[in-house]
Amino acid sequence: MSADDVDAATDDTEVARRSVTDAESPPWYTEPLGVALVASYAGLALLGGFVTAGFAFPSLVSGGAVSVGSETPLAVPPQLFLYAGLGGFAYVFVTLSSNPEADVTTVGHLGLRVPAALLVAIGVFLFASALGVAPTDAGPGAARTLAGSAFLTGLFVEHGLKALRSVSARLYPGDPRDLYGARRGSDDRER
């Protein structure tokens, strides 16, 4: 196993790139499973949209419920998962519209990014100050900054993951390049 293999496995964009080349398999809308998958994605995205608009669970998005303050420093605001999920579904539909003939397997693969996006958003929230997305004031703009970074984390999971990876490598004593260079040799070449 070479370093390139590791790279291919860790690079999320590889999924999208490969999906464009699978032209020979039947598109998703010819199979009931594919239609069901896309319908469930659309349903969940629509539900998320309703929640952000305040039609359902209005306590999640209305005013004072956003607690980014110091009284509960560890708890993650549940709103972030909403926006990260919406970002994940945005990625799904953007990719689907750029490659409308994708097969069912690809559509399923796209959906796998959504749980990853939800979870990576936790790390981005906790390291918001180290990543430069921490809100500077306590007004409504602060909550919007956090929600926006959660949305972008959902949309570009691999960016969030890369940022967290560099934070993690700097966290421990020793040269971060040792962590990158020892077995993941091609990471240096990438940047």
Partner 1 sequence: MREVELRRDRAGGASDSAVESGAAWYTERLGVALVVVYALLACLGVLAVVGAIEGAFFVGRFDARYYRTNPFRIPPQLLVYAFVGSLTHVFTALAADPDAETRTVLRFGSRVPVALLLVFPAYVLFVSLPGHVPATADLEWTRQLAGMAFLLGLFVEHAVGGFRTVGEALILGRIVRPMLGRLGRSATDASE
165 binds partner 1 (CB under 8 A): yes
Closest residue by Cα to residue 151 from 92, 102, 82:
82
Task: Tell me the closest approach of the beta carbon of residue 43 to partner 1, in angstroms.
Answer: 18
Rounded to 10 degrees, what is the CA torsion of 61, 86, 126, 109?
160
Instruction: Please identify, using beta-carbon distances, which residue of 9 and 53 lies nearer to partner 1.
Output: 9
Closest residue by Cα to residue 90 from 114, 106, 120, 64:
114
78 binds partner 1 (CB under 8 A): yes
Instruction: Please identify, using beta-carbon distances, which residue of 42 and 128 lies nearer to partner 1.
Output: 128
Taking the C-alpha atoms of residue 179 and residue 155, their distance in angstroms, rounded to an integer, is: 27
* Subset of 82-141 contacting partner 1 (CB under 8 A): 103, 105, 108-109, 112-113, 115-116, 118-120, 122-123, 126-130
Task: Tell me the closest approach of the beta carbon of residue 63 to partner 1, in angstroms.
Answer: 18
Task: Tell me the closest approach of the beta carbon of residue 144 to partner 1, in angstroms.
Answer: 19
- Residue 27 Rama label (left phi>0; alpha psi -120 to 50; beta): beta
Give CA 44 to chain center in angstroms: 16
Which amino acid type is present at position 185? Answer: G
Helix (H, G, I), strand (E, B) or coil at 124: helix
Among 133, 150, 161, 163, binds partner 1 (CB under 8 A): 161
33 binds partner 1 (CB under 8 A): no
Instruction: Please identify, using beta-carbon distances, which residue of 45 and 120 lies nearer to partner 1.
Output: 120
Q: How many CA atoms lie within 13 A of 99 on its CB side?
A: 22
Residues that bind partner 1 (CB under 8 A): 1-2, 4-6, 8-12, 14-15, 18, 21-22, 25, 70, 72-78, 81, 103, 105, 108-109, 112-113, 115-116, 118-120, 122-123, 126-130, 157, 161, 164-165, 167-169, 171-174, 178-179, 182-183
